[in-house]
Amino acid sequence: MKAFLTFTIILCCAMITRAQDLKMTNEIASSLKDNVTLSKLNYPQSVTQFYVRNNSEYAWIHPAQKSDQPEIAMLLLEYSYRFGLSLSDYHWDVISLQKLKKLRDTPTETTQKEKAMFDILMTDALITFINNLHFGKYNPSYSSSYIDINDINGFRSENVLLYARQHADFLKMIVDVQPKIKAYTDFQNYLNTLYAENDCIAPQTEIQKIIINMERLRWINNQSIPYILINIPSYALEFHQKEIVSDFKVIIGKPTTKTPVLESKINYFTTAPDWKVPQSIFVKEMLPKILKNKSYLTDHPYSVYDKQGNEVEITSSKLKEIRQNPHRYSVRQSSGCDNALGAVVFRFENSYGVYLHDTSQKQLFNKDERAFSHGCIRVENAKELASLLLENDGSGNKISILENAMADYQRKDFVLKQPVPIIITYLTCLIKDGKPVLYKDIYHFDDSLENKFNQNK
């Protein structure tokens, strides 16, 4: 009889618990069908998918939960400033560690609706935090609404969060979504050190620059090695290989003809290239010189071509026709020591028509500020960079062929078996020898991004 009563009590308790669980599940599912609730979320689709895969159960305030993950998650949000992010983005006006403990530890004092709302908002806060770490807050390519409904390069924030909850190291799974590029990890390591040393306070200007440049690095898709990174404000190119970084000076676009920020891959490079002069340069800069001095063409040397690709003989009457209809003609500079592209050009697909190349004006690399081009990037020691690319590609035996072709101005194409990612970015701050180094904001890009962060502090 006693055993029967014990069994009955256990069964009743199980039925009550089951009924409570079912009530909680129904409340989550019901809340996620409410437009008012969804309107409060930054990533409603991602949150909904999270709970679908979690069987519409509470993720953070279930009274039977023994894990310390909810506390870790809350502390991660509370210390978001250590990642260059802002607590105000993560519903901190309505969620907190204290409220989490109260809702979980004193279940009779709150309604299921209040619990469900808290759990959903906490999930949205974590999904927002993960997306901010991975994509940035103000990504120019992907808005939050686009990220919410699309799989971008295999990344879904709700999948990261679900996987992290199943993993022994919850914290590591979350922070691992950050960029792996060295410039970014240098920033993160600096902030970790800075905030670990309570007596070490960096100037606010430095912190602000670090925050906006960490944001820019989160916009970069490529995370693989090797890669080439060109930073516009520091006039520098870095070729990153395993354990090795090779540095090169570069010349970049003038403020009136800016070098674009982009990502692509170097597929091949060509020695002794000829230069097809962009039409804008021909019309605005070159044509007035040609009209003033006909020998300008032969002095450099340039050739003029018509729409059919036929070379045009320059006479007084032809010059008059070119002046009246310049867009019917194009100009090309043949290879040689005076060629604007120098002895080698590195090609990569992009919509801006820019490329990376050698130059005949090597004296310009002696200047500290090197914004002289029409948008393309000129690199110092181009032969060394080409040799490193061949060696990295397992084609070191072709280096002597490259050197001879460059010396003799012989046209040859060197196609890479494994194209190398190239990143052109705009970083006005970097960590050098453990300290922040600030660079001149030559294109005045910082103000608008700083304003966005300041408005959302």
Rounded to whole angstroms, how far apart are CA atoms 53 and 51?
5
Instruction: Write out the H or E segment, with its range, that includes residue 69.
Output: helix 69-78
Rounded to whole angstroms, how far apart are CA atoms 57 and 119?
10
Rounded to whole angstroms, how far apart are CA atoms 355 and 344?
11
Task: Extract the tokens encoding 24.
Answer: 């909680």
- Note the pLDDT of residue 283: 84
429 is catalytic: no
376 is catalytic: yes
Q: What is the pLDDT of residues 111-126, one digit of tens each?
A: 888 999 999 999 999 9
Give the pairing type, strands 377-379 and 227-231: unpaired
Statement: residue 190 has pLDDT above 80? yes
- Note the pLDDT of residue 299: 78
- Identified catalytic residue from 91, 134, 240, 357: 357
Class of the 220-273+338-426 domain? mainly beta
3-state secondary structure of 159: helix
- Do residues 228 and 238 touch, judged by C-beta distance below 8 A? yes
Q: What is the pLDDT of residues 44-71, one digit of tens each?
A: 999 999 999 999 999 998 766 668 999 9
- Do residues 404 and 410 touch, judged by C-beta distance below 8 A? yes
Report the residue count for the chain.
457
> What does the CA dihedral 44, 122, 196, 439 come to, rounded to 10 degrees?
20
Statement: residue 79 has pLDDT above 70? yes
Choose the weakest-confidence range: 2-6, 342-346, 396-400.
2-6
Strand partners, 266: 348, 420
Strand partners, 155: 152
Rounded to whole angstroms, how far apart are CA atoms 289 and 281?
11
Q: Break the chain into its structural domains and give their ranges.
A: 27-82+91-175, 220-273+338-426, 276-333
Rounded to whole angstroms, how far apart are CA atoms 425 and 233?
9
Q: Could you tell me the pTM of the whole model?
A: 0.86
Residue 308 DSSP label: T
Task: Extract the tokens encoding 133.
Answer: 């770490």
Rounded to whole angstroms, how far apart are CA atoms 178 and 100?
27
- Note the pLDDT of residue 18: 46
Handedness of CA 433, 438, 441, 446 (dihedral sign): positive
Rounded to whole angstroms, how far apart are CA atoms 421 and 390?
14
Mean residue pLDDT of the chain comes to: 89
Q: Return the axis-axis angle of helices 112-135 and 69-78, rounded to nearest 10°.
A: 60
- Note the pLDDT of residue 275: 78
Task: Let me know the angle formed at the C-alpha of 80 by 77 and 82, rounded to the nearest 5 degrees.
Answer: 145
Q: Which long-range contacts (CB under 8 A, 24 or more apart) does 180-184 make?
A: 180/223, 181/217, 181/220, 181/222, 181/223, 181/227, 181/229, 181/423, 182/240, 182/245, 183/213, 183/217, 183/229, 183/231, 183/427, 183/430, 183/431, 184/214, 184/217, 184/218
Mean pLDDT of 248-276: 95
Smallest CA-to-CA distance from 446 within 251, 232, 159 is with 232
- Note the pLDDT of residue 128: 98
